Amino acid sequence: MHKELEEKLFKRVPTLFNLSGDALTPFRFQCSDGWFNILWGLCADLEPMVMEFENETGERFEVVQVEAKLGTLRFYVSQHTEAIDGRIAEAQEKSSRTCEVCGQPGKWLESGYSIRVVCDTHDHTLVEH
């Protein structure tokens, strides 16, 4: 994902991400720009759930990794509740039918060992993450 879009997410929900980690390995989204809106909605929905979780348990929540894997969005977190996991599963399902490149409705495309979700316009394109 382009750095500008990452920065928008970090500014929108800074509490979800540990941005003070090792400068040599900063948090990066390992997916294409087409899933930005899915991530934006997911992070906005998780914010109140995370606040409630942290207030009730005293434990710190953070997003550990975000990547494209086997044609879907993978969103790994440090803590789990049924509500948080359910919302993440919804986003993953939505990504399975959303073009990774542009965010339009997409379909699965298998190429060698890679599985991608792309629209008709991008069905010939393999974009590097």
Q: 97-126: per-residue pLDDT in tens?
A: 999 999 999 999 887 788 899 999 988 755
| Under-50 pLDDT residues of the chain | 23-25, 127-129
Global pTM value: 0.88
Q: Angle at Cα 60 formed by Cα 91 and Cα 20, nearest 5°?
A: 90
Average pLDDT, the chain: 89
Which pLDDT belongs to residue 23? 45
Which pLDDT belongs to residue 4? 94
**113-to-12, 82, 118, 121 alpha-carbon distances in Å:** 35, 32, 16, 21
